[in-house]
Structure 1
Amino acid sequence: MEVKEKNSVIVELHDLTITEQKDDRFGRVVTTKSLSVDDLVNIAVSRRTDLSATTLKSAHEILKNIALEQLANGASVHFGLGYFHLNVNGVFIGDNEKWDNAKHSLSVHVTPTVELRNAVKSCKVDVRGMAASPMAVNSVTDVTSGEVNSKLTPGGGVNIIGTRIKIEGDQAGIGIKLVNETTKEEILVPTTSMLTNSPSKLSFIVPTGLVAGDYRLVISTQHSSSKVFLKKPRTYIFEYLLVVDA
């Protein structure tokens, strides 16, 4: 892939509250847009008028299903921007222990391709100073599995570490929502499921009826550093997709 010089990202700075230095900051890439397969297809069609959206989507779906089939049968697969292979989780006692779903599991490991790594290295980075909103989420930990920024377990606990994330306010929409990436259905986490609610940490129980799929974590609050609520809620959308397994 030819890496073009026009590739660029924007970085905003946030307070690094875990150090003693008051002026320590950490950078976060600003997500400028969220693109679906349909969005990518439309961009491709606009650049290659000889290819139809139907053809591109059909080809993508066929290749994706073949990649899934082969990966699930033990193959290492290079697809899109990554190399995929399976990992085994859990300890086996002795030489002859059989597979136990209660102790063992499979997971997918993804390694970025050279093209992707080179594209990221070549990006022009524009650091535009402190973020307009001090609100940020640093990590989301699924207590059941111990996985960070990747998973949700229905009925299990979640710990969120961040800045200015306390759920407060009296306007509509305040709270924690889990948005299904495919259906766009919004599931509001009930206040009765909240275990911890502080400016730097939120804990809650994941709704038990959450169907399998990919979810966006969305936090809306009127919390401020003073005792007066913000006039308008701040909303933060976590950049990582969180997976609920079937």
Structure 2
Amino acid sequence: MKYYLKENQLTDENNYAARILTEKSHDLDAIIQLMLEKRNVLSRTDINAVLTAFFQIIEECIRRGENINLPIFNLAYSITGVFDEDTDVFDPEKHQINVNLTNGTQVRDAIEQVQLTKVDSVETDPVISSFIDIATQSKNDKLTKNSLFEIHGKRLKIAGEDAGIGFFFVAEDGTETKVTQIADNGQKKIVGLIPDLAIGKYRIRIKTQSTFGAYTTKGIKETTSKFSLTIS
């Protein structure tokens, strides 16, 4: 198992947190294929039928609120939410049933045998290299409001469904002004229209869920330019 270190943004201290570099994932079909490669006494159809029945039984046990203790996981339940009186009953609008999973014996044994290899940090956040103000042709220096801009870098493309994504000009007081008109939205270059900004200094910020290909991440990847731009 490979891992790398990334600067910890959750604390004020200068430290790092480990991130797992996942190289392979297995869905049900892949697991069945691995089973066939190891023991081919049973057919794919037989294995699929057994696993389907297994999952159905697990689901039925959960519906009845029964605990499950297996070599790979242990399953129990809890209820969250506040009950104002001891006569209150469960209300789906205020309370929630949670399924709690813990490692089973086989998983615990397997984890103890995992061999870790540290690798170099994997960059996934956008990288802003340069900003060009088209009106003045200045680089990493000036802003001309209501003029076109062009930025260059890596992993710049703005994509995703989260309302927080976008391209922003950030004032010295931290106020963000979102760019609403973008003509070219690429991984290496973005072209857009500078909003009607007030006089002052600004940094540029990108928030995106984009990854290479057609996929997006659940979290937002964010970066802010190291240089500042001035409207005078």
Under TM normalisation by the shorter chain, which class is it? 0.5 to 0.7
1:125-173 Cα shifts (integer Å, max 9, x gaps): 0001222x2439xxxxxxxxxxxxxxxxxxxxxxxxxxxxxx943xxxx
Aligned equivalents of 1:92, 1:20: Cα separation in 2:
37
2:73 corresponds to which of 82, 95, 99: 82
2:84 corresponds to which of 93, 97, 100: 93
Match of 1:135 in 2: 125
Match of 1:194 in 2: 163
Tell me the amino acid that sits aligned with residue 14 of structure 1: K
Q: CA deviation at 1:221?
A: 5.7
2:53 corresponds to which of 45, 49, 62: 62
**Aligned to 1:33, what secondary structure does the other structure show?**
coil
The answer as to whether partners of 1:89 and 1:104 remain within 8 angstroms in 2 is yes
**Aligned to 1:106, what secondary structure does the other structure show?**
strand
Tell me the amino acid that sits aligned with residue 124 of structure 1: Q
CA distance 1:80–1:198, shift in 2 (3 Å): farther
Match of 1:12 in 2: 4
Structure 2: runs of 5 or more not aligned: 127-154, 169-185, 191-202, 220-232
Structure 1: runs of 5 or more not aligned: 1-8, 137-166, 177-188, 200-219, 241-246
The answer as to whether partners of 1:31 and 1:239 remain within 8 angstroms in 2 is no
CA distance 1:87–1:17, shift in 2 (3 Å): closer
Runs of 4+ with deviation above 4 angstroms:
18-22, 196-199, 220-224, 236-240
Q: CA deviation at 1:115?
A: 1.5
Aligned alpha-carbon RMSD (Å): 3.6
**Aligned to 2:120, what secondary structure does the other structure show?**
strand
Match of 1:175 in 2: 159
Aligned equivalents of 1:108, 1:127: Cα separation in 2:
33
Aligned equivalents of 1:118, 1:239: Cα separation in 2:
31
TM-score norm. by structure 1 comes to 0.53
The answer as to whether partners of 2:159 and 2:216 remain within 8 angstroms in 1 is no
Tell me the amino acid that sits aligned with residue 91 of structure 2: D
The answer as to whether partners of 1:222 and 1:234 remain within 8 angstroms in 2 is no
CA distance 1:119–1:84, shift in 2 (3 Å): same
Identity %: 17
Match of 1:35 in 2: 26
